[in-house]
Structure 1
Amino acid sequence: MNASTNSLPISLRMNSSGFTLIELMVTIAVLAIIVSIAAPSMNTQFANQRVKSTTSTLLTALKEAKVESIIRRQDITVIYDDTVSPQTITLQANNVDISSYDISDRSTVTQTITPSTVSNIVFKPNKTIDNSATVLYTICDSGSDDETPKQVELTTIANVNTMNAGIC
């Protein structure tokens, strides 16, 4: 029952022995074209993912500060430090660090606090922000110009909201 290639003529055995060099080159060229078309889209996807990750980290830090101020019944200060690498968000109670969050080096976070005289955010145990401050964070990615920026808004009553908005 076994078919033997020895019984085939030499011309058939030589023709069915594998791929030609031209067939392999055409296949590689087609793959190169497909990769070159997909690469820019993948770069944008990675940038959007980094923005989402940074937004999630920022949300977690702000929500933890709000909860800790209520549980501990004391002021919790949120300090955003963009002068170090990686950028950090530190939560402090009575000048003692509670926790710290690192932000990706490829992410750009812009903090806008109103009124401008306030430098750090202080969560009060009564579920408000000290000095009736409102804070807006704009998160972008330095690796791409096509990503969708996100904004995190912190209201005077310590509500945290996210939105797809902002300019990078």
Structure 2
Amino acid sequence: MRASKNSLSPTIQMGSSGFTLIELMVTIAVLAIIVGIAAPSISTQLANQRVKATANTLANALKEAKVESILRRQNIELAYDPPTSKTIKLKVGSTEISSYKINDKSKVTRVITPATESKVIFQPNKKIAKNVTVVYTICDEGSKSVAPKQVSLTSIANINTTNAGSC
């Protein structure tokens, strides 16, 4: 035999409905602990994503410069001078044909060999002018625990992205 709600006394009906303040406080405390544990992991994930996105942006700009030099049969200059600049520009002479924005929290360093050169110019013959090789190292300024990435460009215009380098 089942007792219906209507057959219970009014004091029992009032006492068994809803949550107590203590139950709500315990639930909120458990949620706060879970969020506190998860927050550092999320910030590291976001920093990793920024480094990865910046490396991909840089690699795409290099690939576009290579392809444009072949299609246009002209030299294409990659105008990018880290860390002062946060924009990569592709130029034909003084005319800008494309630009890429780098994340403000990304730190990019560049090493050009030979050290006497400061420009990266893609030629239509699928090579870099003056046999320049370049290594870009990408780090995140907000997080030291994120592994850096390197985008390297060889003198024959091969573009490689690797997990290497130091910040």
Give the alignment's TM-score, normalised by structure 1. Answer: 0.93
The whole-number CA distance in structure 1 between the counterparts of 2:121 and 2:53 is: 24
- 2:72 is matched with which residue? 72
- 2:94 is matched with which residue? 95
CA shift digits 1:66-115 (9 cap, x unpaired): 0011111111000114435xx00000112211101110101111111111
CA shift digits 1:103-152 (9 cap, x unpaired): 01011111111111111100111111111111000011112111121000
- CA apart distance, 1:15: 2.5
The DSSP-based 3-state class of the residue aligned with 2:127 is coil
- 1:44 is matched with which residue? 44
Supply the AA of the counterpart residue of 1:29. A
- 2:84 is matched with which residue? 83
The DSSP-based 3-state class of the residue aligned with 2:96 is strand
- 1:111 is matched with which residue? 110
The whole-number CA distance in structure 1 between the counterparts of 2:31 and 2:18 is: 20
- 1:53 is matched with which residue? 53
What RMSD in Å do the two structures reach over aligned CA positions? 1.4
Supply the AA of the counterpart residue of 2:48. N
Point out 4+ residue stretches in structure 1 off by more than 2 angstroms. Answer: 3-7, 81-84
Give the alignment's TM-score, normalised by structure 2. Answer: 0.93
Supply the AA of the counterpart residue of 1:147. V
Aligned length: 164
CA shift digits 1:51-75 (9 cap, x unpaired): 1111111011000000011111111
The whole-number CA distance in structure 2 between the counterparts of 1:55 and 1:102 is: 12
- Which consecutive residues of structure 2, in runs of 5 or more, have no partner in the other structure? none
The whole-number CA distance in structure 2 between the counterparts of 1:134 and 1:65 is: 15
- CA apart distance, 1:4: 5.8
The whole-number CA distance in structure 1 between the counterparts of 2:44 and 2:165 is: 17
- 1:136 is matched with which residue? 135
